[in-house]
Chains A and B, each alone.
Chain A
Amino acid sequence: MYFLAEGAEHNPILPIWQEIVVGGIAFIVLCFVLMKFVFPRMEQTFQARVDAIEGGIKRAEAAQAEANKLLEQYRAQLAEARTDAAKIRDDARADAEGIRQDILAKAREESDRIIAAGKEQLSAERATIVRELRAEVGTLAVDLASKIVGESLADEARRKGTVDRFLSGLESAGAH
């Protein structure tokens, strides 16, 4: 009995007041240092970290929003450009069609005009020729008949209009 021989009896449930004092001082020193110099700084660091992360998220969100806005803008511009192009194409097509129609109409008109003029000229020449032929044929016929009969029938024929009537008959037969 190494200890019991000289040590006083101890009751483990009764605190030793010197130990309370020492332990109390030591623990209070510990509390003071840690609670004043360490843990508040940890809270600050945590807060700074949260701020850094939240700031980063905010910046990323702003950048995202900016990018989305630009994208929308570009899309709108592209759509506008497409509409413009389509409109221009349609206009061009319409113009081309109009021009074609104009040219066609003009050409048709021109050809009609040329044809009409030709016809008119032809009929005029025909009438002239008919008129000349009629006079000549009458004269030739009368001359031929006079030679056959032996006397001049010119006055008689002119008086009675025989040649004209004959020619009219010929003409109407030729027309049919």
Chain B
Amino acid sequence: MADSLLSYISLAMILFSIGLLGVISRKNIFIVYMSIELMLNAVNLIFISLGRYYESMEPQVISILIIAVAAAEAAVFLSLIVVLYRRKRSLDSDIFNILSQKSAS
């Protein structure tokens, strides 16, 4: 089982689906963010298993770049959440609609 590419891809697709379900079904903004992280991890798993399949190092380098992007995303996202939570006292993802208005109240 651990010898076939398909089992790794299946695991990655299951995790990606779980992340997608989290994004579309939850309103808690932290859980939406964590689901995005889970999807990034699933994509990393696909990259690394394909890298092992073709015995190439490039997918591992791409994975490290993805992890760096995830770290940058974490910093910006969490500071944005802290500011919005201080103003609105809510973790509902609807609080982000103030970002769409010209005069944010």
Q: Indicate, yes or no, whether A interacts with B.
A: no
